[in-house]
Structure 1
């Protein structure tokens, strides 16, 4: 006999991020491709030997983040990145047999965590435009729905959900927790955070892996009403965020100028990359994040391999529902954008690729690309 896991764990899918050998330019995982604020490095270098022997205290940094966001301290829970944030939400609010609703394609860790709870996941497929399927999503909410997941801007498409749509969905499911994943907020600029008082079932997730450049330290946050955070805090380990990450976040919060600069770099890079893709005839979708999704067609794997040979990593998203033949490229500062475009040009020309291979016409998602 052998030890068996719970049925839900045995049957759930496993996430395998292709991280091995990432020594080229990292345009594959939507990270900050440059650096965190210089204040982060200063703070980390100032840590004493004794500080590594002490259990981390989350609450002082939660108070600072709350003040930074205009919230109360009891509305903030720091997490081990958004991965743990998603886990805490599903663990706290889903019972076996409950239902959750998510629009796809989206972040695969939603699937992993919902299914691990033994809950049913209703996936609402976007159409060929990849826009959020609002009407069908709203219609999928029933009295059995106990968790609604909204990702805006969405990964891996870059599409968004309007504040009005989020408000309507939250009000349509008062019995459900509504997780609004705003991981890419700093590149989009629109949030539902200021409406938490009137939307008591909404939980906002933020990460410090993207604009803040702290991906390696694994730190994120859940932001909600005091009542919702009380429930979530019970499910969280008291030492879930390490002390180095806490010190780095504290330093980052003292440098808004750097975050604003980096976000502007990305917005400029989005426009430049979009123009370059148009010049190459590569169909792509409007995005409000720090990446652009391209449709290459059957030779998507070859493009990724050839770009890697030219020193640039891309992410093949062809296995995602509705994204057959799609490849995603992360946007960094100007130099990284130029290197990414150069690698794309070399790969495309070496492949003798033509726009007809994508199965779509140039500018599939419209002639005007909103990279602002």
Structure 2
């Protein structure tokens, strides 16, 4: 297969939405072509409930297939949870800053979102969080682990503490970046009724365009979620592609390794250039610099697209960059250097142009 990352000089780098920077496994293409070539039956609805895929996910997660719902990306899973469990006036606790689209789902139900801020945004601040949820005043708590964009993680022990502290509160743990982090709380759904874990095929598995995700939860919660759930909502090609992803885990192991190498390389190189760089256990890093909006715009002119996150609370002057592969990182860094030189040059020109005290 002709791999697009082998031609960096011709390539644009879309590093703004934390999608994979490589194509999915070749098996994904092979599986889709095979399906379309052999009595594909696109005139029929997809497999109801994606039960075959749920069986494979049971092996992948160590959660029974009956406790898994396959959805249109993890966004669909988050919306389903809100639709099922939230009523107008319910209080939802959300550690901030975090993935903002969840707030849309919660507020669309008439829920009241309460922000929680750690004393250090790069820490879970679990003692204060536990104190906040104790007493069950919140209907739902939303945790992203690793968090987007700060990279904060909630360990298994920490999540279990919260589940015990507030047994009447439903906790969502969004593990969109699980494959990069490698640790999970998913098996806790076998022990606690008040936990839902959501995941996606859009990040590590590189099929964001096919919108595949899933949730794992307890017998009780899955029974409630199944009531509004549409079992034919997941498209057939997505089902085929997701199964092919699970059939080629070594390919994705290679990709995770590339992201790990790129994280180490880019963090060191950006710091060497005098930038404040914050690595995360996910597939992105945060960089703090004086003019984030201008930096992003100039970098886009070089064909590298990253995300200005300075609009989020307590992230002054921060940008977020999805991690490419190690080979891609060298070309990305070359273009970053061009932009840094442009910004230094314009700063010097502005300083020369500014009148001194004698000219005032």
Q: Is the 8 A contact 1:99 1:122 kept in 2?
A: yes
Q: Following TM superposition, by how much is the alpha carbon of 1:133 offset from its aligned partner in structure 2, in angstroms?
A: 3.1
Q: Report the 3-state secondary structure (helix = DSSP H, G, I; strand = E; otherwise coil) of the residue aligned with 2:128.
A: helix
Aligned to 2:257: 264
Measure, in 1, the Cα distance between the counterparts of 2:120 and 2:136: 29
Does 1:119 pair with 2:111? yes
Q: Distance in 2 between matches of 1:301 and 1:353?
A: 17
Larger radius of gyration: 2
Answering whether residue 133 of structure 2 is matched by residue 143 of structure 1, we say no
Length-normalised TM-score, structure 1: 0.86
Q: Distance in 2 between matches of 1:262 and 1:202?
A: 30
Root-mean-square deviation (Å): 1.6
Relative to structure 1, is the Cα distance of residues 353 and 133 closer, same or farther in structure 2, using a 3 angstrom cutoff?
Answer: farther
Q: Secondary structure at the match of 1:324?
A: coil
Q: Is the 8 A contact 1:126 1:322 kept in 2?
A: no
Matched, 1:35 2:35: no
Paired residue for 1:168?
Answer: 161
Work out whether 1:352 is the aligned partner of 2:340: no
Given the superposition, is the C-alpha separation of residues 305 and 171 from structure 1 closer, same or farther in structure 2, using an over 3 Å criterion?
A: same
**Structure 2 counterparts to residues 59-208 of structure 1, below 5 A:** 59-141=51-133, 142-208=135-201
SS of 1:51 mapped into structure 2: coil
Q: What's the CA shift for 1:235? A: 1.9
Q: Give the drift of 1:324.
A: 2.0
1:56 counterpart (35, 42, 46)? 46
In the TM superposition, what whole-angstrom CA distance separates every residue of 1:15-51 from its partner, at most 9, and x where no partner exists? xxxxxxxx83111111011111110000111123642
Map 1:221-370 to 2 at 5 A. 221-297=214-290, 299-352=291-344
Maintained 8 Å contact 1:95/1:118: yes
Deviates more, 1:163-172 or 1:132-141: 132-141
Q: In the alignment, what sits opposite 1:15?
A: none
Runs of 5+ in structure 1 lacking a partner? 1-22, 355-372
Aligned length: 331
Of 209, 230, 234 in structure 2, the residue corresponding to residue 216 of structure 1 is 209
Which structure 2 residue ranges, 5 or more long, are not aligned? Answer: 1-10, 347-360
Taking the aligned partners of 1:67 and 1:160, their CA distance within structure 2 comes to 24
Q: Report deviation, 1:129.
A: 4.5
Q: Which has the higher helix share?
A: 2
Paired with 1:231 and 1:340, the residues of 2 have a C-alpha distance of 47
- Structure 2 length normalisation: TM-score? 0.88
Question: The residue matched to 2:70 in structure 1 has which SS?
Answer: strand
For residues 319-371 of structure 1, give each alpha carbon's deviation from its aligned partner in whole angstroms, at most 9, with x where no partner exists.
111112110111021122112212222111210199xxxxxxxxxxxxxxxxx
- Say whether the 8 Å CA contact 2:63–2:190 is kept in structure 1: no
